[in-house]
Amino acid sequence: MSTAYFYAALAAGIAAVVVFLVLRVKYGGLKGLYSKAIASFFFLLTALSAAAVNPGHEVYAGLIVFGLVLGLSGDIWLDLKWIYEKDMEKFLNAGFIAFMIGHVFYIGAIYKFADNWSVLTAVLPIIISVVVAIGNVIVSEKLLKLKFGKFRTIVGVYTFFLFMTFAVSAVAMLNNSFAKQWILMSAGGLLFAFSDAVLSNMYFKEGGNTKANIIINHVSYYAAQFVIASSVLFIK
């Protein structure tokens, strides 16, 4: 299959994200929710198109696709919390869990398909991510004045898996002569972490849910997911 299908899905996805951002900022509500679900569907379609263009790597593609499906479901859960505020806690927890499991699929794909692992390089991302997760909660609450409250534990656990996606892919990139798929996964992981840092300010800091933060959060988030989806095109 021609790479044109992949690039067509990617271009359509970018257009869908632009439409979503306009509707999300201007109207919010159900218009924002539906347009977000459509935009998220396109990063899934991008990965599937990449798998069709680059056949023979079904397991890697499947792991990434499962992670993206969970990202799509997480997107829906998190937007529902703005629409049904009385169930905000339930929807927020559901979103955390969906994205957390999604990161497990990403991490599993990297560990399984990257080469040249040693005990040190396999364990190092885990140690770093534990330190980052604990440090994030402390610094965010003490210095940045975020109020996690009852979500403190799940924020810490989620941060561990979030940063693991970046840390594992960065080590894989360094271990494998900067292979394109691991460069993309590293970039995606870093963008994901940045996006969620902005999202934390929107959710847990008074006055943080601004239009500027909404745009920055979603642009970096969709960039992350489309870049991660694109790694399927280059897996060998």
Q: Which two tokens stand for residue 151?
A: 């979500």
- Whether 156 and 134 have beta carbons less than 8 Å apart is answered as yes
The pLDDT mean for the chain works out to 97
Span 3-12, mean pLDDT?
97
Domain ranges in the chain? 3-233
Span 187-214, mean pLDDT?
96
Residues 67-90: pLDDT tens digits?
A: 999 999 999 999 999 889 899 999
User: What is the CA 236 to chain-centroid distance, rounded?
Assistant: 23
Span 180-201, mean pLDDT?
98
- Whether 46 and 229 have beta carbons less than 8 Å apart is answered as yes
Residues 106-155: pLDDT tens digits?
A: 999 999 999 999 999 999 999 999 999 999 999 999 999 999 999 999 99
Is the whole-model pTM more than 0.75?
Answer: yes
Q: What is the pLDDT of residue 36?
A: 97
Residues 33-50: pLDDT tens digits?
A: 999 999 999 999 999 999
pLDDT > 90: percent of the chain: 97
- Whether 169 and 186 have beta carbons less than 8 Å apart is answered as yes
Q: What is the pLDDT of residue 85?
A: 86
